[in-house]
Chain A
Amino acid sequence: MVRWGMVIDLDKCTACQACIVACRVENNVPIGGEEEVGKERAIYWNQFFSEIHGSFPNLRLRMFPRPCMHCEDPPCVPVCPVDATYKDADGRVLVRYDKCIGCRYCMVACPYGARYFNWFTPEYGEGHENHLNPDAVWDGESWLVGPTPRPRGVVEKCTLCVQRIERSRKEGVPVGSEHQGGTVSACAQTCPAFAITFGDLEDPGSDVYRLSKDKRAFRLLEDLGTRPQVYYLSEV
């Protein structure tokens, strides 16, 4: 059994946000435009947060990227009225873009704000529109779950780069940060500081397995009992 997950080392993260850009390009994540970003309609499968703790002079700036947590017990999945979002056999939480009715109940149910709605028909910046990722992934029931540009009015979110992982497994390419040249998610691949590790949380030989057991490891909002499959390593 496979359970894909990631570990993000906040001590290594330089807050360069290349992971956010790489995700946008890999997954055809549309750009909202300045006005819509201001209205909180922007889409980020991986969103970057910065947070100031304390007050002057005892300030501490914390910054971290937040992909979908792919919870083991995802609150977003049971609420979907049409079964358009589900936890797949490999531990990913996916959205069936051609089944979703756009009620946004899953967004209401997600404490991480990891789900995004297509308030408009997706638009891509000049240049980006000529370089869209042509990949498409269908699940076992022939619903579209891969990175093809989504229609207006549906919910979308991080898939842990399902298109990369599925193609590599078909072609026999190893998946996981522990393999030399192994396939990983776009955010993990692009990170210049090697802060993001991708792999199978069930495989005792994998990097994510080892790091998820590290004493610095924690998960976001652990008290809510969602058991994310994305771990963070705290700053020392």
Chain B
Amino acid sequence: MTESESHTAEAGLRPIAETTWRFWVLVAILGAVMTWALYAYSVQLGVGLGSTGMNAPAYWGIYIVNFVYLIGLSAGGVIVASLAYVFNLKEYKPIARIAELLAIVCLILAMVFVTLDIGRPERLVNIVLFGNPLSPLVWDFIVIVIYLAICLVYGYLGTRPDIVAAMKAIPKRARLYRALALWYTDVSPAALRRDERTLKAIAMAALPTAVALHSVTAWILGLMKAQPGWHTALLAPLFVASAIISGLALVVVATVASRRFLHLDIEDSLISRLGRFLVWLIPIDFYFAFAEIITVQYGREPAQFSTLQDVVLGPLAWSFWTEMLVGLLIPFLLIVRSKDRTPKRVGIAAFLIFFGVFFKRIDIVIPSLIFRWLPFPMGGYVPTWVELSLMAGVYAFGILAFTLFAKLFPLVPLEKAERPEGEVVHVPAAPA
């Protein structure tokens, strides 16, 4: 091991070995939020879903908005993984682990949100016992499980060498790390090459699975002819596109944040390159929004037109315009020029995109539900404290999971200098 490599390894392991008071404050705050959420859940279980703001016709509310949002965010994992392994762009390897971890956390949170939305959670096992093959919810359940399995295997194999390194570097936790490595501690070049081949195969399988995941989630909504706002063939491609942009934005946000707080070894040029991806992706989202609006506006088919009016001008119009301006236009202007793509700016732009897509999810889920074919009284939906507390608790759980992972494992692969011989990729650093 050369001197610089051992230095890198030491720096990479520092967040694990050293725990500051900041970590404990964060854990305490997250724990408090989660405890409050547990209380809110006990109210919801005790009273019933009547304790939420959901009603007829807002049969679904903020839980499903978050479910759809988080499924989209989980896309980041597979994008970065495929960049690093399928397209062999090794410069993305340093963030592959963060991306994969985020994907796993987002998928788990998405499943928690669905569980919160269920009227009788103790009967969830019925999906396994009596699953109806015609139900898009069952398709989604299957594809989520497959995608989660892919992310877990991928994350495990990619992290294993570093778990073994941590096992050797921190003797007092050796037993723990040995268990976390699932007792597979062989890091000989032959074993690593075998892992690499498996990773590559999994990364390839992950791409179609990710497309399936986002499409099937869109089809839960888009196949419903009773919901004019959803019933468009555009919905699945739109979900794939906005999953890619929001997933990537989340990876950038988490990378910039953990780089700052954990002093991780990630270069500026990598972040500005990710910023360039975001700049290319934003117009695609605009394009989809425009294609949808012009089709409905021109045709004025009453049901679709009424839903669109609700989205753009109705009581939830603030959400649509927040997404369009704060979530797309401002980030685009922030980083459209290549010399503006500093880590800080890219981080802010990515945060705005990540934040804005949430409003896009509100626009997709709620206004279409509010539309009614028969002359029902006009409906509306406002989440209650129970829903908002549970939402805060679930995200606190997600942040805690991410933080604990960062405590247990290096977020950035330690052997970052390792490149297969003969295909060294030289990437010029961004101009200062």
Contact = CB atoms under 8 A, between A and B. Distances in A.
B127 A101 contact: yes
B118 interface: yes
A107 interface: yes
Q: Place the interface of chain A in its size category.
A: 35 or more
Interface stretch (B46-54, B173-181, B284-292): B46-54
A142 to B, nearest CB: 13
A116 B55 CA distance: 10
Interface centre among B49, B57, B117 (most CB of A within 10 A): B49
B379 interface: yes
Interface string A152-173: 1111000000000000000000
B60 interface: yes
A78 B135 contact: yes
B169 to A, nearest CB: 47
A105 interface: yes
Interface stretch (B68-76, B88-96, B317-325, B370-378): B370-378
Interface in B116-174: 117-121, 123-124, 126-127, 129-132, 134-138, 141
Interface stretch (A34-42, A196-204, A207-215): A34-42
B369 A108 contact: yes
A107 B59 contact: yes
Contact of A82 (B132, B225, B227): B132
A167 B224 CA distance: 36
Given A49-B375, A119-B49, A153-B120, A111 B126 contact: no
Nearest to A50: B375
Contacts of A116: 56
> Which DSSP category, helix, strand, loop or mixed, fits chain B's interface?
loop
Contacts of B120: 100-102, 151, 153-154
A151 B136 CA distance: 26
B226 interface: yes
A182 interface: no
Interface string A85-113: 00000000000000111111101111111
B226 A152 contact: no
B54 A81 contact: no
A75 B226 CA distance: 8
B373 A51 contact: no
Interface string A176-214: 000000000000000000000000000000000000000
Contacts of B126: 81-82, 84, 99, 101
B117 A103 contact: yes
B111 to A, nearest CB: 13
Nearest to A105: B137
A81 B226 contact: no
A118 interface: yes
Given A113-B57, A119-B48, A101 B132 contact: no
A87 B59 CA distance: 22
A15 to B, nearest CB: 14
Interface of A: 36, 39-41, 49-51, 66, 75, 78-84, 99-105, 107-113, 116-121, 151-155, 220-221, 224-225
7 closest residue pairs by CB, A with B = A102-B119, A153-B119, A119-B50, A111-B226, A51-B375, A82-B126, A78-B134
22 contacts: A40-B57, A41-B50, A78-B134, A78-B135, A79-B136, A81-B127, A81-B137, A82-B130, A83-B130, A84-B126, A99-B130, A100-B119, A105-B135, A105-B137, A110-B226, A111-B373, A113-B376, A119-B50, A152-B119, A154-B119, A155-B119, A221-B374
